[in-house]
């Protein structure tokens, strides 16, 4: 099965505040995205491909409300807290955090965990506290995955290596998989590979040979779990990624990388068309 995910990050912020939202006012932004994509996505067989969209928390209710009957869009959040509410237990003493129970109640069917930006944030906090255990982040992410699955959400679990980790990438990715997926029902998880060393302006993108090597490693390490390319599925690499048998889809972030940089529904649909048609 193929998986096409969309990470909307903070693309809701208007340009006058330094953001890239030219689509709609804040209150209408999520609904605009769902209503301008869900009907077009019906051309694809839901048994062959799924579409997950990860919204900032503010927009989950608007996105869920915009879904029509049998919509192919799965609404997702950009992470969950490592602890959750429980009957007779913690009633919700999680100020600033988002328990999986609240995300499920808001209509989330899926969540993204371990994105390189989340990993960097957790590592930075731990470093300020003097924690040097490099596996600590993976243990925290494992707790988040467990909470999400317990609330019947699927998980897109991101792994990846930084430039200084490339020489021992097998160890880095192996630990992220081993610890992050410990005790997890992996039938509820898809892996996203983010080559952190190649993401960003001026950096050389990972090529087909490298991505294939990583995908084969992940499948061997996990017993064949689905893996998508998280370094950015876009028009320019859709054909290349579609040609890799071991890759099962991709994670889209920006759809326009020049001019009016940002996310645009029509370009999102074009990326999907190119990938699903092998670049044609």
Distance of CA 8 to CAs 36, 130, 138, 160, 230, Å?
A: 15, 32, 23, 20, 13
Structure tokens at 52: 């997950």
Write the DSSP assignment of 23-79 as a string of letters: SS-GGGHHHHHHHTTTTGGGGS-TTTEEEEEEE-GGGHHHHHHH--TT-SEEEEES-
Structure tokens at 264: 């645009």
Catalytic one of 50, 118, 144, 194: 194
Structure tokens at 191: 């892996």
Judge whether 115 counts as a catalytic residue. Answer: yes
Structure tokens at 152: 């019947």
Catalytic one of 3, 115, 118, 144: 115
Q: Are the C-beta atoms of 103 and 79 separated by less than 8 Å?
A: no
Judge whether 178 counts as a catalytic residue. Answer: no
The catalytic residues are 115, 194
């Amino acid at each position: 099965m193929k998986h096409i995910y969309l990470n909307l990050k903070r693309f809701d912020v208007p340009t006058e505040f330094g953001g890239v939202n030219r689509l709609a006012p804040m209150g209408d932004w999520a609904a605009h995205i769902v209503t301008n994509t869900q009907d077009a996505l019906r051309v694809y067989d839901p048994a062959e491909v799924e579409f997950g969209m990860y919204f900032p928390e503010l927009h989950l209710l608007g996105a869920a409300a915009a879904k029509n009957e049998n919509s192919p869009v799965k609404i997702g959040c950009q992470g969950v807290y490592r602890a959750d509410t429980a009957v007779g237990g913690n009633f919700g003493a999680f100020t600033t955090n988002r328990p999986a129970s609240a995300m499920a109640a808001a209509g989330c069917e899926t969540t993204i965990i371990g994105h390189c930006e989340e990993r960097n944030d957790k590592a930075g906090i731990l470093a300020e506290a003097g924690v040097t255990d490099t596996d600590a982040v993976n243990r925290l992410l494992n707790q988040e995955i467990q909470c999400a699955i317990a609330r019947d959400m699927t998980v897109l679990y991101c792994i990846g290596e930084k430039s200084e980790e490339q020489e021992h990438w097998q160890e880095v990715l192996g630990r992220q998989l081993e610890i992050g997926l410990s005790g997890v029902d992996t039938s509820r998880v898809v892996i996203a590979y983010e080559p952190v060393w190649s993401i960003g302006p001026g950096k050389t993108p990972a090529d087909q040979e490298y991505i294939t090597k990583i995908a084969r490693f992940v499948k061997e390490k996990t017993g064949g779990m689905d893996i998508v390319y998280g370094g950015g599925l876009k028009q320019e690499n859709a054909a290349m990624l579609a040609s890799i048998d071991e890759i099962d889809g991709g994670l889209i972030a920006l759809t326009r990388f020049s001019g009016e940089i940002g996310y645009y529904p029509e370009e999102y649909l074009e990326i999907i068309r190119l990938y699903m048609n092998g670049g044609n």
